[in-house]
Structure 1
Amino acid sequence: MLYEDLEKMRNNKDIEGLIKNLNDTEDNKTREIAAYFIGDLGDAKAVDPLIKLLNDDHWPIRKAAALSLGRIGDKNAVDPLIRLLKDEYWHVREIAALSLGLIGDKKAVAPIIKALQDGCVNVKCEIVEALADIGDKQAVEPLMEILKDKDYLLRACTAISLGKLGDNRAIMSLVGSLNDESYLVRVNAANALGNISDESALPYLNAALKNSKGESQGFEDALREAITKLENRKK
């Protein structure tokens, strides 16, 4: 089927037509596009057909189905998406984590934390973000450990997530990240400390600003913003 025909179904909100194209064709590209378009409609009628696609032999179809399940947000998809965290393709595992974050069911937290052992940085970054999206505080200590990871992008993602979680157990780990070799990690750590809003971070933020000596305007701006947030909180 032509892309334009599938697009017309989506625009007309023809969920039944799109679901039919998930199974009634041997054209993998048609099935993949139909799966993505179903996510645009967000119709729960498609949840069971999409869950079936998570076992499809063609990994792009598993990926498309996983993303649309996350966008629909039905909790019946949580267990199948958890199983997908072990998919052989990192692209699929990455989207499984993203979708679990979108759904936000706390039963996924423990399996997602376990998936932090994944060998792919792309997947780990998505897992870190999903944990912040779900918002369960049992993720704080595992994320603090990730701040020690050798990959600076993963450390940067983790700093953001700890800021979103807002738990003061992470303060000293984030304070340590103010001295990270990566500019991005330092900026994200400063922003995270401002978001946690615990005044105990003030001396460390002030010291970092004093020691920066004009080295990086972006980092210093982040420090000043965090300091202002915490000082305003004291008033």
Structure 2
Amino acid sequence: MTAPPCPPLLRAALPAARTRSSAALARSLGAAALAVSATGCLVISPPAYEPPEKTAPVLTAVFPPPYRPVHIDLLNPLDKIKDFGATVLSEDNGEPVQIALYIDYGRRTSNKYPYRRSVDAPSVAAGTIAGGQRPFTRTLDLNIESIPNDGVTPERECHTLTMMASHALNENKCNCPDDPDDMSWITWQLITCDPDEPTCPTSCPALDCETTPCLFCDDPSLAEGCTDS
């Protein structure tokens, strides 16, 4: 069955509507052509870009496991070199992540330091969260760095190694992170004796701040600076 023909008035209106639509399209194309010819190119503004906000680094231990004490025989030069591996995840905005190693972190010394030894360590190159965790290794060489050996067993043999990460370490704050909100750390237990010796501890008690003077890097008193005496 064929469609009925359009009424005479409708047939007359269709060409007129097509004419008006064609004229409007031509005017739009002409305006675009005029804009291109005036500047030589059609410029489209790029969307505004905001860099991601910098975040505090997050450290994750890789090896050794932080729950397992690390025995170091101080009479064996080869055993006095230990590697400690971790990953860091952070949005750095181009700033490298600074790394510090503290021996006996949290034990306040007489000269107001929050650790008994500090070991220099290279920084980690800047990265992004989208780039994922960045693995790195730092070495503790007790042939170069000394470790406290005062006290009696087991205090003499029981120590800790803390790996601290931040975007800025401040020498005026005992080489602690400048911003307490921009830091992360991992602590391993060190036992400095031959594990085959019967008097060598297999584990060490946790730091007791009720019996031992304690101080940590997020303590506001560090803003007063550290002393050398």
TM-score class normalised by the smaller sequence:
under 0.3
Q: What's the TM-score once normalised by structure 1's chain length?
A: 0.20
Structure holding more helix per residue: 1
The structure with higher relative contact order (CA 8 Å, sep 6+) is: 2
Structure holding more strand per residue: 2
Please tell me whether Structure 1 or Structure 2 has the larger radius of gyration of its CA atoms: 2
Q: What's the TM-score once normalised by structure 2's chain length?
A: 0.20
